C-alpha cells in the first residue's frame, strides 16, 4: 500500500485568535491617544475680544473677506488684529505675495491721534497673544512708530504682523475745531518656517 500524503481539511479559525485582532487594535489606539495627551502640542490660542477701554473696535475678518483665501491669513489670525471703529480702509497695498508666502497689506485712515493708536496697539497685541519683538520709530510706510509681532496661526505657520502708525495730521473743519487723521498700515505675512 502506498503512503499518500494526508491533506488537511478545513479547520475553523479559533474565536480566541479572532478576538485578539480587535484587542490589539484597541490597545494600539489607546497607546497613541495616551502619547498625544502626554506629548501633543497645544492648539493655537484663540483670539480674545478687544480691550474695552479703547472704545468700539472691529477685527480684520470683514476687511479680508474679499481677499483670495490662498493669500489671506487664517481667520483666527484675522480675528486677533483689531482696529478702532473710526478707522476706514484707504487702500490695499501690493505685497508681491504668492501662494508660497501669503501676505496682505492694508492702509487705514483713523480719526484718532497717533498717541492713542500707539497705546491701543501696545495693549491689544499682547492681549491677543501676539509676541511683540520690535516697537520703534520707522521711516517705512511714511514714518511713525512700527510694532512688529508674531503669532502662530491655525494653519500651522507663524504669522508676522507689522503695524505702522503714522503721524497725526490736522485739517480745518471750518468750525474752529481741527479734524485729526492718522494713517495706520497693517501688514500680515506668513513666516517662511512653521
Nearest to 163 by CA among 152, 149, 142: 149
Higher pLDDT pick, 134 / 176:
134
Q: Kindly report, residue by residue over 99-138, the tens digit of the pLDDT.
A: 677 888 899 999 999 999 999 999 999 999 999 999 999 8
What is the CB-side half-sphere exposure of residue 61 using CA atoms within 13 A? 8
Q: Kindly report, residue by residue over 16-28, the tens digit of the pLDDT.
A: 777 788 888 888 8
pLDDT of residue 4: 67
Higher pLDDT pick, 161 / 44:
161
pLDDT of residue 109: 95
Q: Kindly report, residue by residue over 63-73, the tens digit of the pLDDT.
A: 888 777 777 88
Rounded to an integer, the average pLDDT of 138-145 is 83
Local confidence band at 11 (pLDDT 50, 70, 90 cut-offs) = low
Local confidence band at 193 (pLDDT 50, 70, 90 cut-offs) = low
Task: Give the contacts of 25 (CB within 8 A, at least 6 positions apart).
Answer: none
- What are the beta bridge partners of residue 131? 150
**Cα separations in angstroms, 64 against 8, 60, 153:** 72, 6, 16
Rounded to an integer, the average pLDDT of 145-150 is 95
Q: Kindly report, residue by residue over 95-104, the tens digit of the pLDDT.
A: 776 667 788 8
Q: Kindly report, residue by residue over 27-67, the tens digit of the pLDDT.
A: 888 887 777 777 766 665 667 777 888 999 999 998 888 77
The residue ranges of every structural domain in the chain are 52-190
When the pLDDT of each residue in the chain is averaged and rounded to a whole number, the result is 84
Rounded to an integer, the average pLDDT of 159-176 is 86
8 A C-beta contact, residue 103 and residue 94? no
pLDDT of residue 128: 92
Cβ neighbours around 186 below 10 Å, total = 22
Amino acid at each position: 500500500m502506498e503512503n499518500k500524503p494526508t491533506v488537511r481539511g478545513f479547520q475553523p479559525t479559533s474565536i480566541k485568535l479572532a478576538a485578539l485582532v480587535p484587542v490589539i487594535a484597541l490597545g494600539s489606539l489607546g497607546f497613541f491617544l495616551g502619547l498625544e495627551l502626554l506629548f501633543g502640542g497645544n492648539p493655537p490660542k484663540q483670539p480674545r475680544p478687544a480691550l474695552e477701554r479703547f472704545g468700539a473696535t472691529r477685527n480684520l475678518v470683514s476687511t479680508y473677506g474679499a481677499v483670495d483665501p490662498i493669500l489671506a491669513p487664517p481667520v483666527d489670525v484675522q480675528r486677533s488684529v483689531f482696529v478702532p471703529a473710526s478707522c476706514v480702509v484707504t487702500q490695499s497695498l501690493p505685497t508681491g505675495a504668492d501662494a508660497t508666502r501669503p501676505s496682505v497689506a492694508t492702509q487705514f485712515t483713523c480719526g484718532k491721534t497717533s498717541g492713542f493708536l500707539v497705546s491701543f496697539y501696545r495693549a491689544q497685541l499682547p492681549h491677543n497673544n501676539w509676541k511683540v519683538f520690535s516697537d520703534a520709530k520707522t521711516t517705512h510706510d511714511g514714518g511713525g512708530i512700527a510694532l512688529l509681532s508674531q503669532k502662530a496661526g491655525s494653519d500651522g505657520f507663524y504669522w508676522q504682523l507689522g503695524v505702522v502708525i503714522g503721524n497725526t495730521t490736522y485739517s480745518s473743519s471750518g468750525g474752529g475745531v481741527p479734524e485729526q487723521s492718522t494713517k495706520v498700515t497693517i501688514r500680515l505675512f506668513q513666516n517662511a518656517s512653521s
